[in-house]
Structure 1
Amino acid sequence: MPGNLQAAPADVTAALHDVAALGGFFVLRAGGGDTGWHPVGLSYARGFTDLAETVAHRHRAPEARIGVSIAHLGHVARLWSPALACVLLHGIVLDLSRLERADDGPALRMPHPAGLRVGAPPSPALALYGQVTAHLEALAQGLRVKVAPRLLDGNAASALVEAARALLAAHPELREPLTGLTTELLNTGRLVGTGEITGPDLTFRRRSCCLYYRAPNGSKCGDCCLAG
């Protein structure tokens, strides 16, 4: 992003601390000790097998791809949520290139907080898209269970819009820039054609299904193409 400057690590850490207060998927830890963490790329290379198997066991999924899809959806949410919030609330595009994952679960951290200050145009959408989808491409390449690529793209779109909806609920004053950025992202790269925003509160209908309904106690999600 020409014309933008590196954000000070202390500012990135403060931004991450602030957006974590939104809860759940917005938590991205900054710094701290190295014990208990590993480069997330190792998890991608291993096919995210540990998380997928844990999810499949929890939901008693009859097919391995269900666990993979649900684990993937949760991971995408942990990428989009803090990244989107930091852009809208603090004007920082996070540098997600050195993310680490907890050894015992799905939590993520930035061992060395970094990011770019968002200045004048161009829009941060391409930079934000690039940071997140670099992870999704690496994860998809490492999967050992066959999952339809467009299902994974749909997961990415669904997680993006859910992050935007949560951010909108907490900060309704951001409606215009948030809707604009979300719409721009949905019109970028692999997110094109994954679904459409259907209402002013960022309701969404995706064109694929995450397969959660196929688990014994699962159901169709609110944005599912199969929902009535």
Structure 2
Amino acid sequence: MTSLRPVPSVSVARALTDVAGLGSFFSLTTGDADGEWRPVSDAYAAGLGHLVSARAARYGTPEPRIAASIVQLGHAARLWSPILGCVIVHGVIPDLGGLQQRVDGPELRLPAPRGWEAPRDGTLTQVLYRLVMEDHLAPLSAGLRVKVAPRLLHGNAASALAEAARDLLRAWPELGPSITRLATDLLRTRKLRGLGEFTGPRLEFRRRSCCLNYRVPEGRKCGDCSLDRKAPGHSI
């Protein structure tokens, strides 16, 4: 990231505040902390165990990998959503160095709003892929206490990316071409390649793996599930 051009902190703060209005998955707070937080790297090393345990208890499932999958999917959404929103709408990439997670919940925060100008030299896709997939989701996957297939976890990342892009399109339809182009390019990148594709003009999405949500008691297939032949659309 050292070759990227830094932007003023006020610009990053403004971008984060703007996109946070789209919902909880887009919320990445900065500044003074309310409650207890810890470095997200510590949470990854523990496999987000506090969230996986709570989710397994909530579902009443004997398969902990299902809870781990759904928690990882939600965390991927909390990474992709503010990142894509800030890039698409404001041309800013938030610096996730120092990212923290609430001790008793999934929420994320940054101690300070720092970031870079989104590059225009064709490297943006690789920068964002590295930021989310390699710097965050890879160590989270390595820290999970239960075995979950890598293809499933990468499919979750693709699904979360697509959902974020779809939310942005609904909020800023005039930015449709930019949203579609960036999301499509990311879905063609490395470990996201071949795990899903957009199937309609509103960025309807069909993934090629399953997050396992349908296996919990009273569970159901998600709208973008590879097992469901109905029209795509995801709910985390």
The two structures share one fold, judged by TM-score above 0.5: yes
Q: Percent identity?
A: 53
- Secondary structure of 2:93's partner? strand
Alignment partners' CA distance in 2, 1:33 and 1:216: 37
How far is the alpha carbon of 1:4 from its aligned partner?
A: 4.2
Give TM-score, length-normalised by structure 2. Answer: 0.93
Contact 1:93 1:127 in 2 (8 A): no
Letter of the aligned partner of 1:148 in structure 2? A
Partner residue in 1 for 2:233 = none
1:214 to 2:182 alignment? no
How far is the alpha carbon of 1:35 from its aligned partner?
A: 5.0
Partner residue in 1 for 2:226 = 225
Q: How does 1:170-185 map to 2 (within 5 A)?
A: 170-185=171-186
Partner residue in 1 for 2:78 = 78
Partner residue in 1 for 2:136 = 135
Q: How does 1:38-57 map to 2 (within 5 A)?
A: 38-57=38-57
Deviations 1:52-75 (A, max 9, x none): 111111122230001000100000
Structure 2 unaligned spans of 5+: 230-236
How far is the alpha carbon of 1:123 from its aligned partner?
A: 4.3
Alignment partners' CA distance in 1, 2:32 and 2:42: 20
Contact 1:97 1:131 in 2 (8 A): no
Structure 1 unaligned spans of 5+: none
Letter of the aligned partner of 1:113 in structure 2? P
Partner residue in 1 for 2:91 = 91
Alignment partners' CA distance in 2, 1:143 and 1:46: 7
Partner residue in 2 for 1:107 = 107
Partner residue in 2 for 1:62 = 62
- After superposing on structure 2, the runs of 4+ consecutive aligned residues of structure 1 that deviate more than 4 Å are 1-4
1:151 to 2:152 alignment? yes
- Secondary structure of 1:87's partner? helix
Alignment partners' CA distance in 1, 2:26 and 2:221: 24
Partner residue in 1 for 2:37 = 37
- Secondary structure of 1:88's partner? helix
